[in-house]
Structure formats: C-alpha cells, structure tokens
A and B are shown apart, each in its own frame.
Chain A
Amino acid sequence: MTLEATIVCLDNSEWMRNGDFAPSRAEAQKDAVNLICASKTQSNPESAVSIMSMAGKKPEVLVTLTQELSKILSGAQELKVSGKIDFSTTMQIAQLALRHRQNNHQHPRIIAFVGSPLKETKEELIQLAKRLKKNGVAVDIINFGEVTENSDKLEAFINDVNNNDESHLLTVPPGPHILSDIILQSPIVESGSGQFGSEFINADTDPDLAMALKLSLEEEKQRQERERKAREEANGGPTTNAGTTTTAPTESNMDVNFEDDPELAEALALSLATDKMDVQPSTNTDSQPPQQPPTDDTSSEAFKDQDFLNSTLNSLPGVDPNRIKNALENLSKKDEDKDKDNEKK
C-alpha cells in the first residue's frame, strides 16, 4: 500500500536471445514486467510506473511515469533486442526522470533487470549506488542469466544503495523455473518501501481510510488462519467422513455463519438432503455449491482433491469459497456430533 513512483529498466541486449529461461530470456522478462507493473498499480492506485530500455543505441524511456496499466504494458511489448546495456547511464536517466515526477509524495524506486554482463567496474557501481542512496532512491535488481559474472558487482551495488532494507537483489540462476514465479515470492513484489508509505497514508490522507484498510487486512488474515486450522482438523478428523471436507444434513440450530448467509444455508441444506437419500457420505463429497451439477462416481475422486476443488470453486462466478468453507466447517463439526449420537444409539 505504498505510494511509489517506479521505473522498470529492461535489458534488451543481444544476451536476451539466450534460451536458458524458457522460451527466451526476453520473453521471461516480459512476463515478469507485466507482473511487477500490475502489482505496483494495484497495491496503490496513485502509484506511477515507467518503463525504460537499457540497451539499444542508447537507454531510452519508453513509457513516462503513468498510473494507467494499459499504457505501461503496451509500451513494454514493443521492446526490440539489440546492443549492450549501459547500466550507469540508465540509472542516471532514471534518477532524472524520478526527480521530475509530478507527485513529489511518491517514493522513488528503480527496478532493473540485468541479464547481460556489466561493463562498469565495482568502484563505479559503488559511486553510483552512493549517489542514488543520497537522493533517497530505492533500487531493486533482478540478476538473471549472467549470474556468475555479475553477482559480485551487483551485491556491492545493492549493499551501498540499501537504506533501511528497501533495496533488494534477487539472483535467479538459469534453470527450469519460471522467472515470474520467483519474483512473485520475492520481497520485490510483496512490499515496496513499507513503513514510509503506510505512515504517509495515515498522516496525509484520511486516517479513517487507513484504519478501515488495516482492519479489513487483519480480518482477512484471521479468516485465513481459521480456514487453515479447520482444514488441518478435517484432514486428521474421523474416518467416517472421507475426503477433505464432507457434510451431513442439518436441520438444527442456525449458527453465526448461517445468520450471515441464509441463502447459502438453505441451498446447502437442500442439496444435502437429497444426497442423504442415496450413497454414504464416504464416496460422495457434497461440498460443492448448489449451482454445480450432481457428482457421479468418476468425478467424485477428483472432487476429493482439495486443490482441484479450490480451483473449481474459485473459477465459478458468484461463488465465494471463504463463505462456503466457513459454512462447511460448522457443518462438519455438527456432523461429528451427530455421528457420535447415532453410534450411541
């Protein structure tokens, strides 16, 4: 949620034709750029992103700082591969572009993809880093492709530009993995200049908005915690209920969740009532929402797989898996109680 002005610098040198990242380094870089730009614009709608190329005849700004994702992505698509990268000139141009950003409250950041050997010496890079740090610019570097040659220089660079853990170096050696996935899990995408941005939102814009955002984030975290616990319980639960989540009909007391979702409760109750007539719950998991067609034996095993279930539920329109999971947890607990009662009888 940090307000940032980010300049993404792309490596479009001849080294990017290399196929060690499938299908080629350039394509992997394109995907990664799309990911990064989307995450920056989504995390804060007032953040601006710009795209620059580092190689070619000279480093060039392809898309000036803008908040519109479509402009950014179309600019990144036009990149042509040629020449060698000029890292220091790129950094200087990026710094100049950031200095002239329209909104001075956006925290400046440069994200650079380096996939070819750097021609600058370590000392030159350290000088550059010190200047960037002094002007308060954070720099993230994604070191891929020519990892062995560049790691040393880039580590020195990041050490000198790093201020309060805002700058990161992500080293990706060539292999079967996907560049975008690795970037997704790294701190480059998750957090920008964390503390500074959130303090700013609190102080400058609505304090109410900031509180509301904080609360909803906490609620989401708590909900996910609950689901995780429930899943663990269900997995290690009694064997009469096979699969990961099963249900049984319940006509008994309405519960907090059902008060929130009366339609869901009714629908589930209906579908479960019809299923109780036939097969035992062990071969049939009724955990789909009423919109789905009834299961048959061939697909019942597939539906037992939690991941498949989750992805199916997520892809259906109008289905909120969180609601369903909460409802089902309660049902499964009631089911255990009922079974115990039945066995006693």
Chain B
Amino acid sequence: MAHQCNDSSHSHGVDDGIEYSLNRYLDTGTITCLNEKVKGSVQHIFKSWEDRHELKHFVESCDDEELIINIPFGAVTQIKSIIIIGGDGGSSPNKMKAYINNSNIDFGNIRSYACTQEWNLHEDFEGQIGYSTKPTKFNNINHLTLYFPSNFGSPTTKIFFIALKGVYTSAKREIVNTVYESKPQLQDHKSDIFNGVSHDLS
C-alpha cells in the first residue's frame, strides 16, 4: 500500500501484522493498567491479529481521560512498531508516550521521568496505522509502559486493541540457577577436555 501522508513517524497498511505480532508472546495476566474502569479489562485488549476488530473487550478510563498501561515481558524483546485501535466519538487517545524498563510508574511520578518516545496518534479504527519506534532506543526491553494523556475530546478514553510488532528473543531475564560444590568431583562433570589432543605452536 502506498504511503498516503507525509508524516514519517507512522506507516499505513500493516498487512504483515500476523507475522510480526508480539501479542502471542505476551503473558496477559501480568499486564496492569492504572485508572481503568473495569479491573482486568486491559488484559483482553492484546488480542490476536485476527480478532483485532472485536468490540466486546476494551479498556476504558475512569473519571478522566488518562491511562497508564504496564506491559512486562518474559524475555528481552525489541519493539519495532505499535498499533492502537481506539474508540469512536472522540474517545480515541491522541497522544502516546512510551517509557521503557521502568515498572514503578504511576500518575504521581510520571512527570519526573523522561519518556523514551512520544507520538501524536490518529483515529484508527482498522488497525492500519503502525507507529514505528526509534530502533536504537527500543532494543533490549523487558518492561514497557504506555501513557495516554489525552484523547480527541470525549471525557473518557477507550482502547479496543493494542498490537506490538517486533522481535522476540528467547533470552530470559531470570535468576541464575547455581550449584555450589565444596569439593568438586571429576566424575560429576563429564567433559572431553582431558581427551583432546593439543599441539604447541613453536
């Protein structure tokens, strides 16, 4: 699909969504949202690419239009672009700020953190617009926070679908399992080191 507008921060026509979508690698049970009206509703908006148009599950903000969504990753990821489907009637978010690797953000301290990247969003009900990330900054991510400070005019913000496009490595960030031996025994460690033949260079 040809690029239809001059804005270089996003691309149209993400038909290869199925291939790169990270949604299936997300553990939705660990995703949290601040200021959501229905507790736990944020876990249902990371749908599979085929289900992106389904309208039953969405997250709505309570009382005002701000939303903070915390997405922890099980493994180190690289995020290339983000797709947002918002609600109609002005309830789509019009700005998005991303903060990486900080799991401590809430509405009290969000002003004190510099955001990694900021986008102006457009109303997109099809999931056609992918907001691309600066590649150097979104490389080794284990926690992503998305902040939506405002919307297109409605008193509350509604988001129906979020898709993350990127590369999922299997490098896990977890505690190293170590075993300590007071007296190492050679028979416990089978190795070929002592069977090899070495030649000195002279």
Taking beta carbons and an 8 Å cutoff, which residues of A are in contact with B?
95-96, 99-100, 104, 130-131, 133-136, 163-164, 195-196, 199-200, 202-204
Contact = CB atoms under 8 A, between A and B. Distances in A.
Interface stretch (B10-18, B47-55, B101-109, B122-130): B101-109
A104 B103 contact: yes
Contacts of A133: 62-63
Contact of A99 (B29, B62, B63, B106): B106
Instruction: Classify the secondary structure of A's interface with B.
Output: helix
A249 B104 CA distance: 67
B1 to A, nearest CB: 38
A130 B66 CA distance: 13
Please classify how large the interface on chain B is, using the bins under 10, 10 to 19, 20 to 34, 35 or more. 10 to 19
B30 A163 contact: no
Contacts of B104: 99-100, 104
6 contacts: A134-B35, A134-B64, A135-B108, A163-B62, A202-B29, A203-B30
Interface string B10-54: 000000000000000001011010110011100000000000000
Contacts of B32: 136
Residues of B contacting A: mostly: loop
Contacts of B38: 164
A22 to B, nearest CB: 40
Contacts of B64: 134
Contacts of A134: 34-35, 62-64, 66, 107
Given A130-B63, A133-B62, A134-B63, A163 B39 contact: yes
A199 B107 contact: no
Contacts of B62: 133-134, 163
A2 to B, nearest CB: 12
B95 to A, nearest CB: 18
Given A134-B63, A203-B27, A204-B29, A195 B108 contact: no
B29 A199 contact: yes
Given A130-B63, A135-B108, A203 B29 contact: yes
